[in-house]
A and B are shown apart, each in its own frame.
Chain A
Amino acid sequence: MFFLIKYMIICLFMTILIETFIAFIIGIRNKKDFINIILVNFMTNPLVVSIPVYFNIVYNANYRNISYIILEVFAFVTEGFVYKRTLNFKKINPYLVSFILNIVSLVCGEIIGRI
């Protein structure tokens, strides 16, 4: 299998695993909410993973870093928007939910990458 496809699959599932776990911790219990969280990650994660890798290999690390920042912001905003429309969980602002889930998965990803 091409290395990037493998990498995208692993990143996607790691992100889903971490975000569903964090979602459970912050109080989300509804099954539909978990399904939406998983679907939202299917929506944004492959883009956030593949585009920086493309830029890094074809161009250089500067392009990668810039695209990474833009895509993470895009993911946060898009996911927040979707959560606002779909989540039954109302205790926390949906954009804050998106921020928490994204920041935790980002940090965990960095730690795992360095181990």
Chain B
Amino acid sequence: MKKIILRNSIIISFVLFLFLMFSNISYADYGVPEIIEYDATIIAEDGVEVEDSLSGNQIVKIPYGDKVHVLYETEGKAFAEYNGKTISINLEDIKPASEDVDISKAQGGQKNMYVYREGAFLYKGPSITYGKLDENIEIPVGTIVKIEASTETWGYVEYNGYKGWVYIYTSDYVSPYNMVCSLTEIAYKETSHYITINEIELTDGPGSSNVVGTIPAGEKIDFYLYSNYPDPHGECDYVVYKDLKGWFQCNEQDVYKDYSEQDLSIFAISDCEIYEDTSYNKKIGTIPAYSEFKLIYETVDEIEPKVFIEYNGVRGWLKHNISGSNENRFISEVPNIYKSTLIPNKSINIIDINTKENTGKSLEATKEYYEIYNYYDFDNKTTYIYVEDTENKENTGWIISNSSDYSSRYNYSDADYEFYLNNYVDLSSVLEVNDDTQSTDIAKEKEESKESDKRNIDSILENKLLLCVILAVIIFVVAIIIIVLVNKNKKNKVNKEETSKE
């Protein structure tokens, strides 16, 4: 009896597995954002003819008024179930069967978002098929909204007494509606200026091709980084230039960083050629080895940045040497925020970097020195460090690096971190915002998030996940019991056979 039950259970389970495998394709696995599924009716007066998404060639005719169950939305279409088939249908051909939305199904957490452009309309439900609440109900630019519940694409908000859904999908990958989102999670202003190399075009949104204006070459611009991560070279950036505001995908051909207002030096390890432009065809000068000169611009290419410098009145470009040799090589001064302090354990000889001979001077033991330059000489296979007395800047010199001769202290402290953070300005504190429930203290938020490793996820989602784990534990226990029972029967059977043989 038990054998039959076990065998039949296995067969039924296998059939169930096949059914699940072939009837439930997870579109989320293809990067399509998840939505709150809903029933919709066909509103095209003549009905619609659509393809069966799985077989690809079977045409399905759906008359006006029939219902479909929408599973996912992508690129202006809905993937829906109809009479056991999965079909793809234009969003404009359907309308939700009911405007009642179960908000508890929105499994994304709460968050604050900032309206940075026009178009933040409230909708009756989490899809454009629900329609707008009212054409006049638009959240104005500069508002910080509190998203109370969210899916990947829509957030439930309350604004000015109105409750509704606003489009919050900030990725332009597989956009459901080919809409540009008017909200963003974080806004920072980078204080380093950028200069345009060529004329650049600004668009009205990330991934959009609608040009709102152009900025001529050679102009200084401010970057506001609207993205989840303040990375100017990865995300699309928001740019402000005089009265013009728009979006721009930052790359090395179009802009470079302007250091002209900062006092950063470069040291030539060998003779370096100065070129007229970055094609490196026309030489306009030479910097002798072991000279210092001023850094003016740097391109944003992190692998091989190009530098524009000034030496003895000559301005031009240097070519970075990535060959692993000393030829045409230079090094940049360590920025203040990254400077470390070197404390000699004993007296260390100061050398002449040209001749590599002792100068007769030395660093004093236990005194503190800043590291200004640090490089590995490929010819001598030695590391050299240029240090500056923290109390007397004129007391400087090169030493041969020998880690047993000194200790180093990294100066990157919380104070520097705060300084660094202050270079990023939360725009919500810059613009006038009347919502006093919002926190705009970035440093405080970062401190608080450091305290806990736990993500800020919705408690309903967390409880559901925990239930699944408990279910797995129960299955574990039940399986052990079944294994014991099955094999106990086997043992009993073997014992009976042995007894009967005797």
Q: Is the A/B pair a real complex?
A: yes
Report which A residues bind B (CB closer than 8 A).
2-6, 8-10, 13, 17, 32, 35-36, 38-40, 42-44, 46-47, 49-51, 53-54, 57-60, 63, 82, 85-86
State in angstroms the CA–CA spacing of A60 and B21 once bound together. 29
State in angstroms the CA–CA spacing of A46 and B465 once bound together. 12
- A sample of 17 inter-chain contacts (CB < 8 A) reads A4-B468, A6-B20, A6-B26, A8-B468, A10-B21, A32-B486, A36-B487, A39-B482, A43-B483, A46-B471, A46-B476, A57-B461, A58-B454, A58-B462, A58-B465, A63-B453, A86-B490
Report which B residues bind A (CB closer than 8 A).
6, 10, 13-14, 17, 20-21, 24, 26, 28, 453-455, 457, 461-462, 464-466, 468-469, 471-473, 475-476, 478-480, 482-483, 486-487, 490
State in angstroms the CA–CA spacing of A38 and B486 once bound together. 12
Q: A44-B476, A59-B453 are known contacts. Are A39 and B483 too (CB-CB below 8 A)?
A: yes
Are B472 and A46 interface neighbours, CB within 8 A? yes
How many Å from the CB of B78 to the closest CB on chain A?
A: 19
Closest 6 CB pairs of A and B: A46-B472, A43-B479, A13-B17, A42-B479, A50-B472, A47-B472
Contact of A50 among B10, B28, B469, B482 (CB under 8 A): B469
State in angstroms the CA–CA spacing of A42 and B486 once bound together. 14
State in angstroms the CA–CA spacing of A47 and B469 once bound together. 7
How many Å from the CB of B69 to the closest CB on chain A?
A: 14
Are A9 and B472 interface neighbours, CB within 8 A? no
Which A residue's beta carbon lies closest to that of B479?
A: A43
State in angstroms the CA–CA spacing of A68 and B262 once bound together. 49
Which A residue's beta carbon lies closest to that of B24?
A: A6
User: B476 — which chain A residues lie within 8 A by C-beta?
Assistant: 43-44, 46-47
Q: A32-B490, A46-B471, A54-B469 are known contacts. Are A2 and B464 too (CB-CB below 8 A)?
A: yes
Contact of A57 among B28, B465, B471, B490 (CB under 8 A): B465
Which B residue's beta carbon lies closest to that of A85?
A: B487
User: B462 — which chain A residues lie within 8 A by C-beta?
Assistant: 57-58
Tell me if B's interface is mostly helix, strand, loop or mixed.
Answer: helix
State in angstroms the CA–CA spacing of A82 and B486 once bound together. 12
State in angstroms the CA–CA spacing of A82 and B164 once bound together. 55
State in angstroms the CA–CA spacing of A10 and B475 once bound together. 15
State in angstroms the CA–CA spacing of A63 and B476 once bound together. 22
State in angstroms the CA–CA spacing of A32 and B480 once bound together. 15
Given A36-B487, A39-B482, A40-B483, list of 6 further CB < 8 A pairs?
A: A5-B468, A32-B490, A51-B472, A54-B468, A57-B465, A60-B453
Are B13 and A54 interface neighbours, CB within 8 A? no
Interface centre among A4, A13, A39, A46, by most B CB within 10 Å?
A: A39
Are A36 and B453 interface neighbours, CB within 8 A? no
Are A50 and B468 interface neighbours, CB within 8 A? yes
Q: A46-B472, A57-B465 are known contacts. Are A9 and B454 too (CB-CB below 8 A)?
A: no
User: B483 — which chain A residues lie within 8 A by C-beta?
Assistant: 36, 39-40, 43, 82, 86
User: A13 — which chain B residues lie within 8 A by C-beta?
Assistant: 13-14, 17, 20-21
Are A51 and B480 interface neighbours, CB within 8 A? no
How many Å from the CB of B365 to the closest CB on chain A?
A: 42
State in angstroms the CA–CA spacing of A50 and B471 once bound together. 9
How many Å from the CB of B51 to the closest CB on chain A?
A: 24
State in angstroms the CA–CA spacing of A53 and B487 once bound together. 33
Q: A4-B465, A6-B26, A35-B486 are known contacts. Are A57 and B455 too (CB-CB below 8 A)?
A: yes
State in angstroms the CA–CA spacing of A40 and B473 once bound together. 13
Contact of B455 among A4, A46, A58 (CB under 8 A): A58
User: A59 — which chain B residues lie within 8 A by C-beta?
Assistant: 453-455
Interface centre among A42, A82, A85, by most B CB within 10 Å?
A: A42
State in angstroms the CA–CA spacing of A54 and B462 once bound together. 8
Interface centre among A35, A59, A60, by most B CB within 10 Å?
A: A35
State in angstroms the CA–CA spacing of A113 and B241 once bound together. 46
Q: A6-B24, A9-B17, A42-B475 are known contacts. Are A51 and B469 too (CB-CB below 8 A)?
A: yes
State in angstroms the CA–CA spacing of A5 and B17 once bound together. 13
State in angstroms the CA–CA spacing of A103 and B428 once bound together. 52
